[in-house]
Structure 1
Amino acid sequence: MAKVSISLDAELVVEVMVLAGIGSPQDAVEAIVRDYIARGHRTEARTGLGEQGLREVDAKPREPEG
């Protein structure tokens, strides 16, 4: 898997480490990102809305109202 390097505010990373209970900044941020993605997938599964459905809704121009 490709790696990406980013800069984050140190206070933000420390808070993530504390909340996640993980001592490594890299591991803590990675765990939070993975959890966020998994939560999104669970929401999609519950609602039945996937990326394709969202693209279809966004791609259609709205009809003028009134």
Structure 2
Amino acid sequence: MAQVQISLDAELVVEVMVLSGVNSPQDAIEVVVRDYIARGHRTEARTDLTDQRLREAAAEPQEPQG
């Protein structure tokens, strides 16, 4: 896997290390990024199910009103 080198504010990284309980700055940032990606996938899965249900409901024939 390719690696990218970035610079971050030290206080930000230390706070991430404390919150994530990880001792390595690189590991702490990796945990945060992986969590962010996983959360995005979970959100997509939930919204996709909702969208699918709405499409199915819209496709059902409507009873005549009147």
TM over 0.5: yes
TM-score calculated relative to the size of structure 1: 0.72
Match of 1:10 in 2: 10
If each structure's helix is expressed as a fraction of its own residues, which one has the higher value? 2
- The percentage of counterpart residues that share the same residue type is 82
Q: Could you say which structure has the larger radius of gyration?
A: 2
Report the aligned-residue RMSD.
1.1
Q: Provide the residue aligned with 1:22 in structure 2.
A: 22
Residues 4-25 of structure 1: per-residue CA shift (max 9 Å, x gap): 0000000000000000000000
Aligned length: 49
Gaps of 5+ in 2: 50-66
**Unaligned 5+ residue runs, structure 1?**
50-66
What is residue 31 of structure 1 aligned with on the other side? 31
